Amino acid sequence: MNGKVFIIGLGLIGGSLAMAIRQAHESVHIVGYDVNENNIQLAKLLGIVDDSVDSIAEGVLEADLILLAVPVDQTEKIVIQLADMKLKDDVIVTDAGSTKSTVVEAAKHLMNRGITFIGGHPMAGSHKSGAGAAKPHLFENAFYLLTPSDNYHTKEINQLKEWLKGTRANFLVVSPHTHDWLTGVISHFPHIIAAGLVKQAQTYSEENELVARLAAGGFRDITRIASSSPEMWRDILLHNRDVLLDLMDDWIMEMAHIKELVANRDSGEIYRFFAEAKVFRDDMPVHAKGAIPAYYDLYVDIPDTPGSLAEITGLLAQKGISITNIRIIETREEIYGVLVISFQNEEDRLKAAEAIGNYTTYETILA
């Protein structure tokens, strides 16, 4: 496809989408806008965008595709502003936010003008941010949810998929409400639980400092997502408020149920509680991308001798294997490694296991 693409927000998501679009459409002209001047300069330096503009109104004038990759609060404001700007009649406007109902509602201002708006959510991310972290393959094999309004046309959906085919994502078309319910169940609510567990541990650590020390092992792993941006999650909770309130009610009922089983010493039902959870989790796809970015970890059992850590990192460097995190854990209940190395993908983790084969390694993928 030829034409002009205007991307608002040149961070990880916006930059990666720009690179994916370019990968599939070499002749496309990509223009970017960002409130952060550093992101603009870096995006131009890396060839993510061809040009930049000083205002949104300037960037939308000749755009065939307008893509908003900014926080949901800003997305709502911008789509309302777009309704008063000069746009091409056949332009397609889409976004990349993680909540959809309120955004699509705000976009009615655009749709009342006859402008096509199709909500979008590429369900992939990274532990890094900014234009410098952008990758053309970030969304490969990930789910990309498209959330058109009730009166959408298949033609426009297919046009958007064609623009975005370079992502190599798996596109699903769902209603805005269904999107928010799905992401609430498998992404938004788990973040609340993780943050709640950490807050509880923080409270107990005031009584006993050993809590924080012992939490350095498995507890830290299962609550990783609590380290996400507080600003982003504040906005997500407010925008997906109704769905999350219902999920919280269901969770309270679930906890009340298991509490009653424990109080009554009902060993059979307690066993069933954990067994059913185990079966459902074990049946989940291991290598597929989901709503929460996966963590590809390798646990390495190494001797407590000088130079062991340097030897392992040296072996990885020789093979050109990039790591995202490395740490030593002291508490190893049910985990047999002392060194935990995190990688960006499954391929790097497998290469690393082979490279350091003289050591005992244990693999895990946490999502």
Tokens of 131: 């234009």
- Considering only CA atoms, which of 111, 96, 107, 109 is closest in space to residue 153? 111
78, 8 contact by CB (below 8 A): yes
The domain made up of 295-366 is a member of CATH 3.40.50.970: no
- Considering only CA atoms, which of 338, 275, 328 is closest in space to residue 303? 338
288, 349 contact by CB (below 8 A): no
Give the 3-state secondary structure of residue 307: coil
- The whole-number pLDDT of residue 156 equals 93
Give the 3-state secondary structure of residue 247: helix
Q: Distance (Å, rounded) from C-alpha 219 to C-alpha 225?
A: 12
- Considering only CA atoms, which of 301, 290, 296 is closest in space to residue 347? 296
* Same-fold call for 4-174 versus 295-366: no
Bridge partners (DSSP) of residue 52 are 32
- Considering only CA atoms, which of 134, 70, 179 is closest in space to residue 82? 70
Q: Distance (Å, rounded) from C-alpha 309 to C-alpha 192?
A: 35
If one counts every other C-beta atom within 10 angstroms of the C-beta of residue 47, the result is 11
Residues contacting residue 182 through CB under 8 Å, at least 6 positions apart:
145, 174, 291
Q: Distance (Å, rounded) from C-alpha 168 to C-alpha 161?
A: 10
Sole residue written with tokens 């490279």: 355
Q: Could you tell me which CATH number the domain at 4-174 has?
A: 3.40.50.720
Q: Domains of the chain: which residue ranges?
A: 4-174, 179-282, 295-366
Which value, to the nearest 10 degrees, does the dihedral of the CA atoms of residues 36, 40, 41, 42 take? 100
Q: How many residues does the chain have?
A: 367
Fold of 179-282: 6-phosphogluconate dehydrogenase C-terminal fold (1.10.3660)
- Considering only CA atoms, which of 70, 65, 64, 39 is closest in space to residue 52? 39
pTM of the model: 0.79
Burial 108-126 (b: 16+ CB within 10 A, else e): ebbbeeebbbbbbbbbbbe
294, 345 contact by CB (below 8 A): no
298, 362 contact by CB (below 8 A): yes
102, 131 contact by CB (below 8 A): no
Per-residue pLDDT tens, the chain, 367 aa: give them. Answer: 789 999 999 999 999 999 999 999 999 999 999 999 988 999 999 999 999 999 999 999 999 999 999 999 999 999 999 999 999 999 999 999 999 999 999 999 899 999 999 999 998 876 567 777 888 888 988 899 999 987 777 899 999 999 999 999 999 999 999 999 999 999 999 999 999 999 999 999 989 988 888 877 678 878 888 888 888 899 999 999 999 999 999 999 999 999 999 999 999 999 999 999 999 988 877 655 665 656 677 777 766 667 777 888 888 888 888 877 777 665 444 444 467 787 777 778 888 888 887 655 544 444 4
147, 120 contact by CB (below 8 A): yes
Please calculate the CA angle 318-323-17 and round it to the nearest 5 degrees. 120
Bridge partners (DSSP) of residue 95 are 68
